Amino acid sequence: MEREVHPEVLKFRPMVKAVAETFGNKCEVVLHDFSDTSNTIVAIENGHVTGRSIGSPLTEESLKKVNKGNTDKDIYNYTGKSTDGRILKSSTVFIKDEEGYTVGSFCINLDITELTAAASVLKDLMKINNGEEEKEQVGTKKINDVLTDLVDQTIKAYGKPIAYLSKEDKVKIVKELEKHGAFLIKGAIDHVAKILCVSRYTIYNYLDEIR
């Protein structure tokens, strides 16, 4: 016989499948009803992520929080591990009744084990050696190399891909380059325009605006 579920908890049941379908089979979505802490899971998708199913209890850590009443604030993007050591990124939303009493929770556990491994590989691939060989070449750089480095360093300071730069960002970049004398170098207008994905006339307009 199916257990009775609190009405406030039931409201979240359609979201369980919706979130799981959206983020795929590495995203476990769990709905808990706290009326029986030994049997809290009333809906779950992708239970293979943590090895749980309907009728499973709260984790020991979650049970401690519920028993202590530490459920006033929802918890987002915390990390943990499954019983088999997989890395999880999780969020928990606590469900309240009309009187503000915590009656359940809606939890998302995303298995990021493979993403973490991939991030480590990418970080290693992108590692740049700023050793003595590079330092020895600084004094002999051509003017075009100086311009390229100045533009690259100025844009890098914004920490955004070019595609995400707003007009205001681009004006500030041009202003910074102007301050360092970049546009005194032959060909600078065309080079900066190409890098910022705008026309040379747009760069002239930015400069007029700045000056």
State how far Cα 27 lies from the chain centre.
Answer: 15
Please list, in sequence order, all residues whose beta carbon lies within 8 angstroms of the beta carbon of residue 202, skipping any fewer than 6 positions away.
193
Distance CA 193, CA 190 (A): 5
Going by C-alpha positions, the residue among 160, 143, 164, 150 that lies closest to residue 192 is 150
Q: How far is CA 118 from CA 27, 84, 171, in A?
A: 18, 19, 35
Domain boundaries, the chain: 7-117, 131-210
pLDDT for 21 equals 97
Helix (H) or strand (E) holding 77: strand 75-81
CATH class of 7-117: alpha beta
pLDDT at 138: 46
In sequence order, the 6+-apart residues with CB closer than 8 A to the CB of 57 are: 37, 38, 39, 40, 41, 63
**Alpha helices, H only, the chain:** 7-10, 13-23, 60-68, 113-125, 132-137, 143-156, 167-179, 188-196, 200-210
pLDDT at 26: 96
Q: Please tell me the distance from the alpha carbon of residue 88 to that of residue 112, in angstroms, as a whole number.
A: 6
What pLDDT does residue 130 have?
60
**Per-residue pLDDT in tens (0 to 9) along the chain, 211 residues:** 567 899 999 999 999 999 999 999 999 999 999 988 888 999 999 999 999 999 998 877 777 777 777 788 898 999 888 878 888 999 999 999 999 999 999 999 999 988 888 887 787 787 776 655 444 444 445 657 788 888 888 888 877 778 888 899 999 999 988 888 888 888 889 999 988 989 999 999 999 888 7
